[in-house]
Chain A
């Protein structure tokens, strides 16, 4: 019996389809471009700011790259949302508590349990589904970033046009506020990607120096069993665990 089931288990399975992978690559490229071309403007008075911005063709060209990359990223984001709507609408994407990316109360419990495990209070790691609270945090941070950085960036890029939509009483504070939002949230996004996304998806033991999933879309069943046990059980049954 065990053998039969084991025979049905492939060595690896597709975790992200090609559309998601393209969306991710677009996000990755535009994110890097935006970070690189915007960075000098955040700290223009530091010694190497001029040198850095000149690598990107000078402040004028850096600004142009930043705007094009920004609009591309927003379009990529809308594509993702529309694509999700299509998958759900056509029934190609079902819903299960074990595979959903939507934050659930269970995620809070998982996080608390994981910290307990870090501190040695429990020997058992929490069992994650397709997306752990770590992945969910990573994923929804992009939505937050799109909302705050994307919208403020779009308004700042087209100020004459966008100024028409702001009521008179906002005009004294809305522009400095947008600039602060764009700049500080961008710093947050960069640090977040470096320390949360890179560490958890690429630099961790077993994945270092890079996970290939973002290119191949595949995850080994072995990794799935350890990282996403609930999803594994859902697909292949508990039997196959031992």
Chain B
């Protein structure tokens, strides 16, 4: 009995491992070429596509155990057969929109929905999604614009992740700091700079791990306009959002501007700072001149007025 047990356990493990190998083999098959290839090719549609896939980085990513054809759904087998195969209805519905954005394979870009359906639905309902699915814009953000290359996606907690806390400002800034996009969509200008000037932003720059960054207040996939009725950064929503960190936050507390430039439209802090600078310079002038003049007088006395001097007695 015991012997049989000792025999079957390794056998079962081996068989299950073989299944794993089989699935990995499918990816390996593509990677035999694509990990060795370098450079870019021009597709029939005229897009320039990078054909290289870093096999090591891919295997280390959260998607590393996937088959290539899991996402590249219109490729079935064999490297040189043209894309074909039947597409899932869900994906077909998305392709007209993803084709605005994807260079080589809109179907692969739509394939995220296979596993991430709730997130895809959120995105569609968001202001980002509105630009893609209603206005059919090519420069509005879809999955990869924020999450980066799908072959190398790492967990959010990984410092290499584009949506890691430490990288979020840069990720959002790619569009929200881009003057062309800001003007085109009428976005609030200089938001990244304004955040950096804010109390939260200064702590963020110093590497604070828990200080709120863009998505912590504004949300991510279901992001709305600031003045939308369900916005997490205005009205009741803001009170709730502030309360995530500031326990017991009230509407009065939430009224504080989170990141605003202090301009002439806010005269008290604006001119207050100007007056403070005058005060500082005035005090500095007095203390510096006092110290310097006293020192000069002391040297003068020691050199020229020895007879009057009492300090050395």
Contact = CB atoms under 8 A, between A and B. Distances in A.
Interface of A: 40-41, 44-45, 49-50, 53-54, 58-60, 63, 114-115, 117-120, 123, 134, 159-161, 163-164, 166, 168, 171-173, 175-177, 179-181, 184-185, 187-188, 191-192, 195-196, 199-200, 205-206, 222, 226
B206 A160 contact: no
A159 B256 contact: yes
A180 B256 contact: no
Given A176-B262, A199-B291, A171 B255 contact: yes
Given A163-B255, A184-B280, A185-B276, 11 more contacts: A45-B196, A60-B210, A118-B297, A123-B308, A159-B253, A164-B252, A172-B255, A191-B284, A192-B283, A200-B291, A205-B311
A181 B296 CA distance: 34
B269 A176 contact: yes
B252 A173 contact: no
A95 B75 CA distance: 96
Q: Is the interface of B mostly helix, strand, loop or mixed?
A: helix
Contacts of A45: 196, 205
Given A176-B260, A188-B279, A118 B207 contact: no
B306 to A, nearest CB: 13
Say which size band chain B's interface belongs to. Answer: 35 or more
Interface stretch (B12-20, B230-238, B241-249): B241-249
B256 A175 contact: yes
A117 B297 contact: yes
Interface of B: 196, 199, 202-203, 205-211, 246-250, 252-253, 255-257, 260, 262, 266-269, 272-273, 276-277, 279-280, 283-284, 287-288, 290-291, 293-294, 296-298, 300, 305, 308, 310-311, 313
A195 B287 contact: yes
A42 to B, nearest CB: 8
Q: Is the interface of A mostly helix, strand, loop or mixed?
A: helix
